[in-house]
Amino acid sequence: MPIATPEVYAEMLDRAKAGRYAYPAINVTSSQTLNAALRGFADAESDGIVQVSTGGAEYLSGPTIKDMVTGAAAFAAYAHEVARNYPVNVALHTDHCPKDKLDKFVRPLMQISKERVARGEEPLFQSHMWDGSAVPVAENLEIASELLDRAAEGKIVLEIEVGVVGGEEDGVENAINEKLYTTVEDGLAMVEALGLGEKGRYMAALTFGNVHGVYKPGNVKLRPEVLKSIQEAVGAKYGKEKPLSLVFHGGSGSLLSEIREALDYGVVKMNIDTDTQYCFTRPVADHMFRNYDGVLKVDGEVGNKKLYDPRVWGKAAEAGMAARVVEACEALRSTGTRMGR
């Protein structure tokens, strides 16, 4: 199947919330990591989301070029070609974009999609994230409102962050403290500014103790009940049950019970990067350590081309990452839920 259309993506998100499951959103940085994610979704019979960060997009353009729009557009073009060979629906997303990078990343990509839609084509990406966690809530929502108008013109879903995710990702670092918990007041302000779909579709990354990076299970102090309180407050005001489609950031080190509780409260998308990075790299390290005399020309020897061929260790890397994607689908209850089964 091709990359999900806006209509298919909307149905994916609606089905996830109704079914109390979420899609793994896998960060990718190359054709290999994209192929690994697609393989994992197919093996799990789950639809899914693949995404690029600002740093990932720079890398995809070439490490010496560092052009985020070029890298993102090239990734999307490649993904549109290879994804059609898999029996799952996959949406393309751009991850955290702070204020100082909007004009170099999200806004140009939205303009590309607007022009594509005007020509009768599908948008290049299905959703984009605006990360306004570093600015005051009022400014965050003002920018989000402007971006939501742009997104609607290109049939794009907007993701916003209201609250702060701790830890570090792509050079953005936040302290681990009480600011990691979105308040009910912030949730209500968000809906007052953005509506509940009538101005355009959006997902909300409300924070409940989320932290980017590597942590052992139990070290991250999540409070999923924060999501429940905000859903109930918004629902009571607008007469809707579980009105918000939520996103879970910083899931590494989370207990399965916490993940599942968050799903019950309306999480439909969970970002996964740290764990899949490790599961991609670990088989490569194993291959190199076990075959060092083949991958290196030790003492003037010629080495072993069959061992240093990038396809050899690359396949192992992809298999390792794909297995972790399958594990993520199982944790998020999306296994076997692909549309069209």
**What pLDDT sits at residue 210?**
75
**What pLDDT sits at residue 177?**
46
For residue 21, with 0-12 CB atoms within 10 Å meaning exposed, 13-18 middle and 19 or more buried, which class applies? buried
What does 248-291 look like in DSSP terms, one character per residue?
A: E---TT--HHHHHHHHHTTEEEEEE-HHHHHHHHHHHHHHHHHT
**What pLDDT sits at residue 254?**
80
Residue 167: left if φ>0, alpha if ψ -120 to 50, beta else—which one? Answer: left
- For residue 66, the surrounding DSSP H or E stretch is none
All residues at 6 or more sequence positions from 239 whose CB lies less than 8 Å from its CB, including other chains:
none
Beta bridge partners of 94: 52, 128
CB 128 within 8 A of CB 121: no
Q: Which residues of 295-310 are buried (b: 16+ CB within 10 A; e: fewer)?
A: beeeeeeeeeeebbee
Catalytic residues: 95
All residues at 6 or more sequence positions from 263 whose CB lies less than 8 Å from its CB, including other chains:
20, 21, 22, 332, 333
Instruction: Tell me the helices (H) and strands (E) count for the chain, helix number first.
Output: 13, 10
**What pLDDT sits at residue 167?**
45
**What pLDDT sits at residue 222?**
85
0.75 exceeded by the pTM?
yes
Low-confidence ranges of the chain (pLDDT < 50): 166-169, 171-177
Rounded to the nearest 10°, the torsion over CA 55, 67, 60, 120 is 110
**What pLDDT sits at residue 220?**
59
**What pLDDT sits at residue 326?**
98
**What pLDDT sits at residue 164?**
65
**What pLDDT sits at residue 180?**
72
Long-range contacts of 217-224 (CB under 8 A, 24+ apart): 217/253, 217/254, 217/255, 218/253, 218/255, 219/253, 220/250, 220/252, 220/253, 220/254, 222/254, 222/255, 222/258, 222/262, 223/181, 224/258, 224/261, 224/262, 224/265
Structure tokens at 336: 């076997």
CA atoms within 13 A on the CB side of 41: 28
